[in-house]
A and B are shown apart, each in its own frame.
Chain A
Amino acid sequence: MSHSASHPAAGSPAGSSTARGIALGAGLLVLALVPLMVGASPYMLGLLISALILAGLALSWALLGNLGGMVSFGHAAFFGVGAYASALLAARLNVPVLLAIPIGGLFATLSSLAMLPALRLSGPYFALAILAYAQIFRILATELDWLTGGAAGLQRFPSLPTVFGLDLSERAGSYVLVLACVVLFALVYVVIRRSHVGTALRAIAESEDATRVVGVNATVLKTWMLLLSAFIAGVFGALNAHIIGFLEPDYAFSGIWSVMPIIAAVFGGYRTVLGPIVGAVVIYLFDQVVAKSLIPVGHQILLGIVLAVMVLVAPNGLSGLVARLFPRSEKHHAEA
């Protein structure tokens, strides 16, 4: 799965970037459905579900990094808030799970409002401020035990329902649901990137004054990206919570949820839409199947090495490598 997922990208013919993107996306989608058709083992499906959860998180991280120009070391905050909010809504207020999940996302957005003051900080200061937020949320989830169950965690909250005869709490159903969410948010990302907002955000990174002087409110646009990124991360946190059916602060707000999306997105190429998704699947499977069997404790050392090597050798990730090996049409060449 892992190597076949990256193949069509390499083999796709040169063409306009839109056609190329659609072809790529459709190809990947078909590939993504293969495990269902061939009846992959529950273990394999479970791995793929987790990989797709990570893909959604990596997509949300890359959206903030690529469009918002911000590096986040604290996406665990949004992931955890989404998870807890959705689980608590479903358990305590009997909110239907499929409604609780997007509301969980909204709660993550709400929590990101507290980070707005951090937006006026430059690079490393923003990165570390958001890391501080993630820690604060983890500690809050532990301390507010009347609400969250404290360190012992939450165990009894509803799992995913059955919709149109498809039991979403079964592995196959969960897989389809998570995949659909990844596709949906990837499309949202594409639409934003191609919009005027996306164009303006692309300009802000290197020409802030020139962009603001024609009327672009850079802070507001970046704010929208932070809110959206938090929402997406929250939704995947909520999905994950209802799929595994168990939450505790050290898990939901684990540094893993901050670290893995960075590795996945940088590995796949965080300046593209597909990069983080492909990167997440490859990295997650590599970590779980290869790294863990080689080094049971401390397997993250291999991920660290992968990340360091990627930044040094191919800072644009897999997609950058693909672009280098298979250059696009002449038109794009002339522009480059």
Chain B
Amino acid sequence: MLKLDAVTVRFGGLTALSDVSFEIPQGEILGLVGPNGAGKTTLFNSISGLVKARGQITFDGKNVIRLPLHRRARVGIGRTFQIPQPMHHLSVRENLAVAQVFGAGRYDPKRIDEILTVMELSHKADADAASALALQELKRLEIAKALATEPKLLLLDEVLAGLESNAKRTFMLKLRELHRLFGLTIVIVEHDIETISELCTRAVVLNFGQLIADGTPAEVFANPAVMESYTGTAHA
């Protein structure tokens, strides 16, 4: 459903992504792996339209690389930010309503309530999103907002970071539930090898803006080049 073909991003003289190509079939949960600065967030930014990229990004059979940011949300690409970005001055419910009305093109308060329930935010529905939520709640709101746009593809940027192991396990179950419930295709940025191995059917590894490995988590993590780029960055 998503196909990247020679995606390249340059910031001035710096090449943040160079010739990245891979494909994600419908329904997959793909782990995006790599050390800090490898280009993972830049890849998300280029898929969701936050940075200009060269190459081809085909989503549902259409090249979306020229679509502006807001149009990508409407064709079904949802994303979260590593540092949560709630819409300021809006309540949690209003955050979802804006996402739904503009991202999905319809207003359905019942569905918003469902999303709030699934993401365990019902008790904070009318609280101010930017000031009254704890960090983990903000991370759940990030996902809830993305879900409200009714995406087919969900890009999750380090949503599991900073959770202790029990909470992480619960949250992984939650992601599986979302995956099934909403029929999603998911790409998740995550450092932890065990998490990737357990959650994902496939992993793609970036290093210095280049794709260096692509395969099942077992294959990828058996690759010496991957381990070399990887040791010491996150899995200590």
Q: Which A positions have Cβ atoms within 8 angstroms of B?
A: 196, 199-200, 202-203, 205-207, 209-218, 334-336
* Cα–Cα distance between A218 and B87 once the two chains are bound (Å): 13
Least CB distance from A128 to B in Å reads: 27
Task: Answer whether A214 and B148 are a contact pair too, CB < 8 Å, given A196-B107, A203-B88, A203-B89.
Answer: yes
Tell me the B41-82 residues at the A interface (CB within 8 Å). 48-50, 68-71, 73-74, 78-79, 81
Would A206 and B88 count as touching, CB distance under 8 A? yes
Would B127 and A202 count as touching, CB distance under 8 A? no
Interface CB pairs A-B, < 8 A, 27? A196-B97, A199-B97, A200-B98, A200-B101, A202-B90, A203-B87, A203-B88, A203-B94, A203-B95, A203-B98, A205-B88, A207-B85, A207-B88, A209-B69, A210-B85, A213-B49, A213-B70, A213-B79, A213-B85, A214-B98, A214-B99, A214-B103, A215-B102, A216-B70, A216-B98, A335-B126, A335-B128
Cβ-based interface call for B132 (8 A): yes
Q: Is the contact region of chain A dominated by helix, strand, or loop, or is it mixed?
A: helix
Would B48 and A335 count as touching, CB distance under 8 A? no
Known: A203-B87, A215-B71, A215-B102. 14 other contacts (CB 8 A): A196-B102, A203-B94, A206-B88, A207-B87, A212-B73, A213-B49, A213-B70, A213-B73, A215-B70, A215-B149, A217-B71, A334-B127, A335-B128, A336-B128
Cβ-based interface call for B91 (8 A): yes
Would A213 and B69 count as touching, CB distance under 8 A? yes
Cβ-based interface call for B31 (8 A): no
* Cα–Cα distance between A334 and B127 once the two chains are bound (Å): 8
Would B132 and A196 count as touching, CB distance under 8 A? no
Cβ-based interface call for B217 (8 A): no
Q: Please, how many residues of chain B have a CB less than 8 angstroms from a CB on the other chain?
A: 38
* Cα–Cα distance between A205 and B88 once the two chains are bound (Å): 8
* Cα–Cα distance between A43 and B68 once the two chains are bound (Å): 56
* Cα–Cα distance between A202 and B102 once the two chains are bound (Å): 14
Q: Which residues of B contact A196 (CB under 8 A)?
A: 97-98, 101-102, 107
Tell me the B90-130 residues at the A interface (CB within 8 Å). 90-91, 94-95, 97-99, 101-104, 107, 126-128, 130
Would A214 and B90 count as touching, CB distance under 8 A? no
Would B85 and A209 count as touching, CB distance under 8 A? yes
* Cα–Cα distance between A214 and B85 once the two chains are bound (Å): 11
* Cα–Cα distance between A242 and B152 once the two chains are bound (Å): 57
* Cα–Cα distance between A202 and B89 once the two chains are bound (Å): 7
Least CB distance from A218 to B in Å reads: 8
Cβ-based interface call for B209 (8 A): no
Q: Which residues of A contact B104 (CB under 8 A)?
A: 215
Least CB distance from B192 to A in Å reads: 26
Q: Find the A residue at minimum CB distance from B88.
A: A206
